[in-house]
C-alpha cells in the first residue's frame, strides 16, 4: 500500500522506478568499496536504511559525496539533484555482507527477490559442510549461495531470470564467498550436464498460491497451490544428489487436516530420507491469498482449493538426508524463529 503510494509520487515527480541491474565493481575496487559501504552503514545506519531499505531519496553531505559518486558509477544509486540521490536497488546488510535486490517499485515480472525472514533462516540453518559441492536452484540475488560459498568447495546457482543472475554477479563481486559462485541461466536442472551431482541442493522456490489468470512476479508465482515449481523439481532431485547428499527447502505449502502437502511430496520423491521439518509459521489460507481477492477468477480458484481440503498454509524449512530410520520429525525452533524475525523485521 505504502509502496504503491511511493511509486505514484515517484512517477508524478518524473522519477524512474525501474533500473538496469547494478554493474559489478572491478576486482581491484570491490574490497575497498565494500569496506567504505560498511563504514558508512556503521556510522549512519538510519541514513542507510532511509535510502536502501525505505527507498527514499537522500540529501548527501560532504563526507558522503565520494562514496555516492562511486555507487552512482555502478548504478547502485542515481543522482537526481545537486546533492540528492535516489536508490536504484535495495541493499540489505546481513552478517557482514551487503546484498542488492530490486526496488519494490520494479513492478515488472522479473523483479529480483528482496531479503526477508526466509533468507536469514536459510543462511543460519543450511547444512553446508566443508568441501561440499552445493547447488542452489532458484538462485535470485545469490544471497544464500554466497554464504554457502564460505564453507563449500564449489557452489552453482541456477535461475531462469537473467536479471537475477546479473544481481548475483554484482553481489558476488561486492561480497565474494571463499569458493566462486557459478551462475547458470535456465530452468531448474536443465542447464546441468546429465551426470552432475551435488552434496547439498538448496531451494527457496516461488511460493505464492496464485490464481491462474493473475499475473504475478516470477520470483513468487508458485501456481494455484503454490507448489508448481516444487512439483517440477522433485522428480529429478534424488538423481542429482551424490551418495549421502542432502536436500533443503524453505517455502510455504498449503495443507489440510493431514498437514502440509509439501511433506507428502517430499516423502514420495525422496524415499529413504529422514525429513526434519521446521514449522516456522502457519496462516489460514484465506488470509494468505487475501492479496489476490480482486484478481480475475479468484472465487473459482478459492473453491478449487477448498474442494481439495486445503484451508491452512504452512511456512516450512525441511532438511532431508539419507538415514537408516527414514521418516518425518517435526520441530518448532521458537528461539531461532524469534532471532531471525528480529533481524528481518528491521528490513520491512
Ligand atoms: C523466492 S525467489 C528466491 C530467490 C533466492 N534464492 C532467495 O532466497 O532470495 C525464487 C527464484 O526462483 C526463480 N525461478 C522461478 N522459476 C524458476 C525455474 N523454473 N527455474 C529456475 N529458477 C526459477 C525466480 O526467478 C526467483 O529468482
Q: Each residue of 170-202: pLDDT tens digit? A: 999 999 999 999 999 999 999 999 999 999 999
Burial class of residue 284, CB neighbours in 10 A (0-12, 13-18, 19+): exposed
Contact 261, 254 (CB under 8 A): yes
Query: Is any ligand 1 atom within 6 A of the Cβ of residue 111?
Result: no
Query: Is any ligand 1 atom within 6 A of the Cβ of residue 101?
Result: no
Instruction: Quote the pTM value.
Output: 0.95
> What pLDDT, on a 0 to 100 scale, did the predictor assign at position 346?
87
The number of the ligand 1 atom at minimal distance from the alpha carbon of 207 is 1
> What backbone torsions phi and psi does residue 312 show, to the nearest 5 degrees?
-125, 155
Query: Is any ligand 1 atom within 6 A of the Cβ of residue 140?
Result: yes
Contact 151, 132 (CB under 8 A): yes
Residues of the chain with CATH 3.40.50.150: 117-345
Query: Is any ligand 1 atom within 6 A of the Cβ of residue 188?
Result: yes
Residues of the chain with pLDDT under 50: 1
Between the CA of 13 and the centroid of ligand 1 the distance, in Å, is 33
Burial class of residue 186, CB neighbours in 10 A (0-12, 13-18, 19+): exposed
Burial class of residue 257, CB neighbours in 10 A (0-12, 13-18, 19+): exposed
Ligand 1, residues 160, 163, 227: which to mutate, most atoms within 8 A of Cβ? 160
> What pLDDT, on a 0 to 100 scale, did the predictor assign at position 66?
97
> What pLDDT, on a 0 to 100 scale, did the predictor assign at position 67?
98
> What pLDDT, on a 0 to 100 scale, did the predictor assign at position 1?
44
> What pLDDT, on a 0 to 100 scale, did the predictor assign at position 13?
66
Between the CA of 95 and the centroid of ligand 1 the distance, in Å, is 22
Cα angle 112-216-249, degrees, rounded to a multiple of 5: 60
Query: Is any ligand 1 atom within 6 A of the Cβ of residue 171?
Result: no
Between the CA of 308 and the centroid of ligand 1 the distance, in Å, is 27
Give the count of alpha carbons within 13 A of 7, CB side only: 11
Q: Which CATH architecture has domain 117-345?
A: 3-Layer(aba) Sandwich (3.40)
> What pLDDT, on a 0 to 100 scale, did the predictor assign at position 308?
96
Between the CA of 157 and the centroid of ligand 1 the distance, in Å, is 10
Amino acid at each position: 500500500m505504502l509502496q504503491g503510494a511511493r511509486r505514484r509520487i515517484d512517477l508524478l515527480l518524473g522519477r524512474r522506478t525501474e533500473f538496469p541491474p547494478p554493474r559489478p565493481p572491478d576486482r581491484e575496487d570491490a574490497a575497498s568499496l565494500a569496506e567504505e559501504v560498511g563504514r558508512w552503514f556503521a556510522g549512519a545506519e538510519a541514513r542507510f536504511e532511509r535510502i536502501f531499505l525505505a527507498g527514499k531519496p537522500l540529501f548527501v553531505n560532504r563526507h558522503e559525496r565520494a562514496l555516492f559518486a562511486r555507487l552512482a558509477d555502478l548504478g547502485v544509486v542515481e543522482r537526481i539533484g545537486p546533492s540528492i540521490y535516489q536508490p536504484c536497488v535495495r541493499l540489505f546488510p546481513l552478517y557482514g555482507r551487503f546484498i542488492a535486490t530490486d526496488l519494490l517499485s520494479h513492478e515488472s515480472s522479473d523483479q529480483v527477490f528482496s531479503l526477508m525472514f526466509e533468507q536469514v533462516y536459510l543462511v543460519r540453518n543450511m547444512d553446508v559442510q566443508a568441501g561440499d559441492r552445493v547447488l542452489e536452484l532458484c538462485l535470485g540475488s545469490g544471497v544464500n549461495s554466497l554464504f554457502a560459498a564460505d564453507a563449500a568447495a564449489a557452489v552453482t546457482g541456477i535461475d531462469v531470470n537473467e536479471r537475477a543472475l546479473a544481481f548475483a554477479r554484482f553481489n558476488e563481486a561486492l561480497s565474494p564467498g571463499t569458493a566462486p559462485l557459478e551462475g547458470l541461466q535456465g530452468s531448474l536442472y536443465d542447464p546441468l550436464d546429465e551426470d552432475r551431482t551435488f552434496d547439498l541442493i538448496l531451494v527457496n522456490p516461488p511460493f505464492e498460491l496464485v490464481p491462474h489468470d493473475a499475473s504475478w512476479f516470477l520470483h513468487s508465482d508458485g501456481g494455484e497451490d503454490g507448489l508448481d515449481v516444487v512439483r517440477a523439481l522433485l522428480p529429478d532431485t534424488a538423481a542429482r544428489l551424490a551418495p549421502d547428499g542432502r536436500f533443503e527447502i524453505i517455502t510455504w505449502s498449503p495443507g489440510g487436516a493431514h498437514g502440509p502437502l509439501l511433506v507428502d511430496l517430499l516423502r514420495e520423491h525422496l524415499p529413504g530420507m529422514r525429513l526434519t521439518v521446521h514449522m516456522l509459521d502457519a496462516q489460514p489460507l484465506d488470509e494468505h491469498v487475501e492479496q489476490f481477492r480482486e484478481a480475475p477468477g479468484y472465487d473459482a480458484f478459492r473453491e478449487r482449493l477448498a474442494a481439495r481440503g486445503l484451508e491452512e498454509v504452512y511456512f516450512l524449512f525441511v532438511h532431508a538426508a539419507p538415514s537408516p530410520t527414514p521418516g518425518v520429525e517435526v520441530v518448532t525452533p521458537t528461539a531461532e524463529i524469534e532471532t531471525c524475525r528480529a533481524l528481518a523485521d528491521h528490513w520491512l
